[in-house]
Structure 1
Amino acid sequence: MQSTAKVNLECPVCGVTQFRHRFKKKNRAFWQCQSCDMELQYPLPTADELRDYYDNSYSEGMYNEFASAQTMKRMTAGRRLLEIRRHLPIGGQWLDVGCADGMFIDVANANGVNVEGVELSQVAVDLARNSGLKVHCGTIDSLPEDRMFDTITAFDVLEHVLDPV
C-alpha cells in the first residue's frame, strides 16, 4: 500500500514537501513527490556510506560484474565519444565525472582525446590507475578550484548524486 506522508524533505525539483512512500529496497525508503513525481531515496546515505557502498560494489557486488563486461562497455564508450565529438572542437581538457574504472577515458584517449576522470570509489580508481589512466579519487567538488576543463561528461551519474541541485 502506498501512503502519503509528510517527510522532513523538500523536493529538489519543485520545492513541495508532500511525498508518497513508493517502496523499500535494502532497508532504504523511496518516496515520490506529490507535485512533480520526482522519486528519491530518503533519508539519503551519508557520503561515507555511499563511498563504502561503491567500494564494496566494485570489489564484491554488482559493479564487479559490470566492470567485467569489457566488450559492451568499450562499444558504449565508443558510441558516446562519437556522438559527443560531433558537437565539440577537437582538443582541450576533458573530465569524465563518475568515470568508474575508466573505460570511457581509455577509449577517448585511444582516439586522441585528452581525458582524465574523477570517481568516488577508491577500488574503481585503483582499477583505472592500474590501466595507466589519470583518475582522481573523490567528487568534482574535491578537484582544485583552479582546474579548468573544456568538456565535462557525467554518464549515469545524476541518479547517484546526494545533492543534485
Structure 2
Amino acid sequence: MECPTCHNTESSLVGSKNGHKLHRCANCSLLHVHPMPAADELLRYYQDYHKTPQYTRKLKSKQRRAKKRIWSLKRLTKGSKFLDVGCNAGFAVEAARSLGLEACGIDLDEASIKFARQQYPMGDFRKISAQDLAASAERFDIIYCCEVIEHLAEPHSFVDALYTLLNENGVLFLTTPDIAHFSVQQNLLEWTAVRPPEHLLYFSKPALTALLEAHHFRKINFRPNLKPTIKLLARKDAAAV
C-alpha cells in the first residue's frame, strides 16, 4: 500500500466506515481510503450527486458567501479570468461574473452542469475534468476549488492540472476538511466529514502543503478558521514556470 500523496508505504489502520478501510500515513499523516474505489465506480457515484439538491435550496446564501470570497481574491491579481473547479450548481461562477470577472465553471456531474446552465444562462459551464481542461491552451487568474480534493482517488494529476491552469501571477483558493483541527473529536470515524466513498482523502495542513509544493506551488498561506476546514491561498513558483 502506498500513500496517495507522499508515496510512503508505511501506514496504520484507523478503522472502517461504510465498508471502506481508512489508513493513516506514517510520514505525512494523511488519512485515506484503501483500497480506493475504481474510477468507473466513482464516476457513477457523482452522476446526479446527492448533495446537489441541498446546494440548490441554498443558492442565494451560497452565492453571497462566494461573492465575498471572490471579491477578496480579485484584489490579489490583475487578471480577470476565473475558474471554479467543481462548480456544482454554478453559484460561485455567477458570483464571479457579477464582480466583472470572465467566469467559467467545470464539473463532472452532468446534472449539476445542466442545472447551472439553466439557472445562470449567462455563465460558462462545462462538463470536463481539470486534467482535460489543462491540456487546452486556456489559463486563469483565479482558480476557486472548494471541497473538491478530498473526493479524489489520485490527487497528484489534479494538483498538477491546477498548477498548469493557473497564470503566473494568478492565485489558487482551495478548501478541504481539516483532520487536524482542534475541534475534531478523538474518534475520527465519528467525524461527519469522514464519509467514504464520498470523501477519500483527509488532509492536515502539513500534508496538503507537501502535496502543493511537490507541484511547484509556493507562497502557501492558510487562513484562520474556527471550523474544521482548511482554507488556503497559493501561487505559482515563478522559477519553475
Question: Same fold by TM-score, threshold 0.5 exceeded?
Answer: yes
Aligned-partner residue type, residue 115 of structure 1: A
1:127 aligns with 2:126: no
Once structures 1 and 2 are overlaid, which stretch shifts more, 114-123 or 22-31? Answer: 22-31
Equivalent AA in structure 2 for residue 152 of structure 1:
I
CA apart distance, 1:17: 0.9
Match for 1:12: what amino acid?
A: P
For 1:29 and 1:138, the matched residues in 2 are separated by 30
Structure 2 unpaired stretches of 5+: 157-241
Match of 2:44 among 47, 52, 69: 52
Deviant stretches of 4+, over 3 Å: none
Partner of 1:98: 86
1:136 is aligned to 2:126: yes
**Shift of residue 138 of structure 1?**
2.2
Give the Cα–Cα distance (whole angstroms) in 2 for the partners of residues 38 and 114 of structure 1.
Answer: 35
Within 5 A, what are the aligned runs for 1:4-43? 9-43=1-35
Residue 43 of structure 1 and its aligned partner are, at CA, apart by 1.8
Task: After TM superposition, give the deviation of residue 90 of structure 1 in Å.
Answer: 4.7
**1:142 CA drift (Å):** 2.0
Q: What is residue 155 of structure 2 aligned with on the other side?
A: 164
Separation in structure 1 between the aligned mates of residue 40 and residue 117 of structure 2, nearest angstrom: 22
Q: CA RMSD in A?
A: 1.8
The separation in 2 between residues aligned to 1:122 and 1:47, in whole angstroms, is 16
In structure 1, runs of 5+ residues without a counterpart are: 1-8
Q: Secondary structure at the match of 2:12?
A: strand
Q: Does structure 1 retain, via aligned residues, the 8 Å contact 2:84–2:104?
A: yes
Contact 1:94 1:150 in 2 (8 A): yes
1:154: which partner in 2?
A: 145
Q: Which has the higher contact order (CA 8 A, sep 6+)?
A: 2
Instruction: Measure how far apart 1:16 and its partner are.
Output: 1.8
Pick from 76, 88, 95: which aligns with 1:87?
Answer: 76
CA distance in 2, matches of 1:25, 1:69: 29
- 1:47, CA displacement in angstroms? 2.8
- Distance (whole Å) between structure 1 residues aligned to residue 102 and residue 148 of structure 2: 21
In terms of fraction of residues, the more strand-rich structure is 2
In the alignment, is the contact (CA less than 8 A) between 1:121 and 1:138 conserved in 2? no
Structure 1 contact 128–134 (Cα < 8 Å) conserved: no
Identical columns (%): 26
| Matched position secondary structure for 1:35 | coil
User: Residues 119 and 136 of structure 1 are in contact (CA less than 8 Å); yes or no, is this contact kept in structure 2?
Assistant: yes
SS across alignment from 2:146: coil
Which residue of 1 is the match for residue 99 of structure 2? 111
One-letter code of the match for 1:74?
Q
